[in-house]
């Protein structure tokens, strides 16, 4: 379960690689993430490591602010690459010894090179916004090869806006004919500075802010943050509240997996599957609206409990409707596993093995599709998961077809969990007598839960004030997206949308747009505000 960080292993910066190698050899071979914290006189880096038994270690080192550099650990853990590049952009720390390409990762290219990184404590977020607003253009630089692999190789740009994406993203695909021989990825188009914003709001207001990280698994984000804050406060929510949180989390899992299955059907040309799944998914959305009052951002979880109770009559309704939903989904499972169209377009596509999955620190269904039972609900149980019996499906093949089978089975298992929780629902009041508005004592804690896309991690540092000193978020997509860029190689361009969608990526929304003058070819990136002004004219 999530917990207060009582102890950290402090090491010298020069020994970080050797120390991590010892921990990896001891079984702590999953790098959850790397957290940077500006301590004003130095910058602390915390490497959060986990094993397959639910144990977690925090290895800390401090580097001077005036010389922010440290050796990369990607030679030991390749999956650390995106975590380090994120820190480079947001804290200005240089990781020497990296083999991968450099350049902007999260920040836009127009962020002035001489400006301090935005997550340092002395940087005012309003100044950052003003600085970016003054930039006339903010065209991004695509990462690709410096020279063609062969005279026949061609670079195919995909994105940031493309029909193959439900959200903005950019890939440079180096192709030889129809075959992808190399893929480069540029992310950050939807970065909204939520971690910085969280430092300026109270803990209660942060719950509403952080659930907006994702419109699909919003309750997972608020729950994960609240878990960490409750550990810092020493608060134990009522049993009924933990049961209700777990029910909402499993409804969210059903909603998320159903949405994903519909999208996969769309990309493989099985549009009736898309409409079928999204049609029955409405029942789950309606239930969440009846529970919380909202279909998307539920605002259900709060510090010390939940914001509203759920009546016994509504619980029975949830039981009946999910039972009916399960019957329809079982029919879907029969269709999926026997459909030649689905099998032909997904079996053996986007294939990887468990070693590759571990190498890139993947999480959730992506990890389980390669055969490893990696599920925080089992590894480090939280909520009411210790009160129910459930299975975590795994597959061995590690391809898109395996991911479909796993997610369909997980939907049925979520229904099983919900029914057990309703039968065992304890009595009592799950709503706090008053919402938490106080200060949080100095300390550090982490939240770690199994969101629909996989392990979600929050780090919270408190300093005895009303606002958190630091909030770090590691979403499942950042852990899984590195895998995609590597497994694309060797597949055809037509497989590209299916493989990218297979990890269920979430990039949220963005507020930039590129305008191209067709006569001159000039490109200009406009903020939404300016775009609206132009439309009014």
Binding site, by residue number, is: 195, 214, 217, 473, 506, 509
Would you list the domain boundaries of the chain?
Answer: 4-140, 194-509
Q: How do beta strands 56-64 and 9-10 pair?
A: parallel
CB 190 within 8 A of CB 214: no
Q: Of 56-60, 113-117, 397-401, where does the model show the most confidence?
A: 56-60
Percent of residues, the chain, with pLDDT higher than 70: 89
Distance of CA 248 to the CA centre of its chain: 18
State the residue for tokens 């290219």.
Answer: 109
**What pLDDT does residue 265 have?**
84
Overall average pLDDT of the 135-140 stretch: 68
CA distance 359 to 24: 12
Overall average pLDDT of the 200-221 stretch: 92
Residue 176 has pLDDT above 70, yes or no: yes
Residue 522 has pLDDT above 60, yes or no: no
**What pLDDT does residue 537 have?**
45
| Tokens at 170, concatenated | 């950019």
378 or 106: which carries more pLDDT confidence?
A: 378
122 or 100: which carries more pLDDT confidence?
A: 122
Question: Smallest Cα–Cα separation from 462: which of 127, 89, 206?
Answer: 206
Residue 530 neighbours by CB under 8 Å, 6+ apart: none
CB 29 within 8 A of CB 361: no
CA distance 115 to 389: 53
CB 30 within 8 A of CB 47: no
**What pLDDT does residue 526 have?**
46
Q: Hey, what's the torsion of the CAs at 289, 291, 296, 302, to 10 degrees?
A: 150
Residue 314 has pLDDT above 60, yes or no: yes
Question: Smallest Cα–Cα separation from 398: which of 358, 364, 349?
Answer: 349
Q: How do beta strands 523-527 and 512-516 pair?
A: antiparallel
**What pLDDT does residue 250 have?**
97
Band (140; pLDDT cuts 50, 70, 90): low
Phi, psi of 467 (to 5 degrees): -110, 150
Residue 504 has pLDDT above 80, yes or no: no
Question: Smallest Cα–Cα separation from 454: which of 220, 260, 236?
Answer: 220
Question: Smallest Cα–Cα separation from 323: which of 388, 257, 414, 384?
Answer: 414
CB 302 within 8 A of CB 223: no
Residue 305 has pLDDT above 50, yes or no: yes
CB 513 within 8 A of CB 525: yes
Strand partners, 45: 36, 61
**What pLDDT does residue 514 have?**
41
Per mean pLDDT, which range of 216-230, 263-277, 423-437 is the poorest?
A: 263-277
Band (520; pLDDT cuts 50, 70, 90): low
Binding site for Mg(2+), by residue number, is: 195, 473
Q: Is 101 exposed, middle or buried (0-12, 13-18, 19+ CB in 10 A)?
A: middle
Question: Smallest Cα–Cα separation from 312: which of 428, 231, 401?
Answer: 428
CB 452 within 8 A of CB 253: yes
Binding site for Fe cation, by residue number, is: 217, 509
**What pLDDT does residue 27 have?**
93
Binding site for Ni(2+), by residue number, is: 214, 217, 506
SS3 percent helix, strand, coil of the chain, rounded to 5, is 40, 20, 40
**The domain 194-509 belongs to what CATH superfamily?**
Cytochrome-c3 Hydrogenase, chain B (1.10.645.10)
Strands (DSSP E) along 346-453, which ranges?
A: 443-451
DSSP state of 179: E
Distance of CA 323 to the CA centre of its chain: 29
The region that residue 290 occupies, defined by phi over 0 for left and psi between -120 and 50 for alpha, beta otherwise, is alpha
Q: Is 189 exposed, middle or buried (0-12, 13-18, 19+ CB in 10 A)?
A: buried
CA distance 235 to 230: 5
CA distance 140 to 189: 9
**What pLDDT does residue 233 have?**
96
Overall average pLDDT of the 165-177 stretch: 79
Phi, psi of 37 (to 5 degrees): -130, 125
Residue 115 neighbours by CB under 8 Å, 6+ apart: 128, 131
Overall average pLDDT of the 130-140 stretch: 72
**What pLDDT does residue 251 have?**
96
458 or 190: which carries more pLDDT confidence?
A: 458
Question: Smallest Cα–Cα separation from 417: which of 372, 464, 383?
Answer: 383
CA distance 496 to 229: 40
**What pLDDT does residue 536 have?**
46
Tell me the pLDDT of the chain averaged across its residues: 86
Overall average pLDDT of the 53-82 stretch: 93
Does the domain at 4-140 match CATH 3.40.50.2000? Answer given as no
CB 88 within 8 A of CB 80: no
Strand partners, 516: 523
**What pLDDT does residue 528 have?**
46
CA distance 120 to 104: 17
């Amino acid at each position: 379960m999530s917990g207060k960080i009582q102890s950290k292993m402090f090491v010298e910066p020069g020994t970080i690689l050797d120390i991590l190698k010892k921990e990896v050899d001891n079984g702590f071979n999953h790098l959850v993430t790397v957290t940077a914290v500006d301590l004003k006189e130095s910058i602390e880096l915390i490497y959060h490591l986990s094993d397959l038994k639910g144990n977690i270690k925090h290895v800390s080192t401090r580097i001077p602010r005036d010389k922010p550099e440290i050796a990369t650990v990607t030679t030991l853990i390749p999956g650390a690459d995106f975590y380090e590049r994120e820190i480079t952009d947001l804290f200005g720390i240089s990781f020497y010894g990296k083999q991968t390409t450099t350049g902007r990762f999260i920040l836009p290219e127009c962020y002035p090179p001489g400006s301090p990184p935005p997550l340092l404590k002395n940087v005012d977020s309003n100044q950052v916004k003003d600085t970016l607003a003054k930039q006339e253009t903010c065209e991004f630089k695509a990462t690709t090869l410096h020279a063609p692999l062969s005279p026949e190789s061609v670079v195919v740009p995909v994105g940031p806006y493309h029909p193959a994406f439900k959200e903005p993203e950019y890939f440079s695909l180096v192709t030889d004919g129809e075959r992808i021989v190399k893929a480069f990825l540029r992310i950050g188009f939807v970065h909204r500075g939520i971690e910085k914003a969280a430092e300026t709001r109270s803990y209660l207001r942060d719950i509403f802010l952080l659930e907006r990280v994702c419109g699909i698994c919003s309750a997972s984000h608020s729950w994960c943050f609240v878990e960490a804050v409750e550990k810092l406060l020493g608060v134990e929510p009522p049993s009924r509240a933990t049961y209700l949180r777990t029910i909402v989390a499993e409804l969210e899992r059903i909603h998320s997996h159903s949405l994903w299955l519909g999208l996969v059907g769309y990309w493989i040309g099985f549009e009736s599957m898309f409409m079928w799944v999204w049609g029955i998914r409405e029942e789950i959305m309606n239930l969440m609206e009846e529970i919380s009052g909202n279909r998307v951002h539920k605002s259900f979880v709060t510090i010390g409990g939940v914001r509203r109770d759920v009546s016994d009559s509504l619980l029975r309704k949830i039981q009946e409707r999910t039972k009916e939903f399960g019957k329809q989904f079982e029919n879907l499972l029969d269709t999926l596993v026997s459909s030649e169209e689905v099998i032909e377009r997904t079996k053996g596509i986007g294939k990887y093995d468990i070693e590759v999955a571990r190498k890139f620190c993947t999480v959730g269904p992506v990890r389980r599709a390669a055969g490893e039972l990696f599920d925080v609900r089992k590894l480090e149980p939280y909520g009411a998961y210790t009160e129910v019996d459930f299975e975590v499906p795994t597959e061995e093949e590690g391809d898109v077809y395996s991911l479909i089978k796993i997610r369909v089975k997980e939907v049925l298992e979520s229904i099983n969990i919900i029914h057990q929780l309703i039968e065992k629902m304890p009595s009592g009041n799950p709503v706090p007598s008053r919402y938490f508005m106080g200060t949080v004592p100095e300390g550090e804690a982490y939240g770690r839960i199994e969101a629909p896309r996989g392990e979600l991690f929050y780090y919270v540092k408190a300093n005895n004030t009303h606002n958190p000193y630091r909030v770090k978020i590691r979403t499942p997509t950042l852990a899984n997206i590195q895998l995609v860029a590597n497994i694309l190689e060797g597949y055809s361009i037509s497989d590209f949308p299916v493989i990218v969608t297979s990890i269920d990526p979430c990039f949220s929304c963005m507020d930039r747009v590129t305008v191209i003058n067709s006569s001159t070819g000039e490109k200009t990136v406009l903020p939404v505000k300016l775009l609206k002004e132009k439309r009014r004219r």
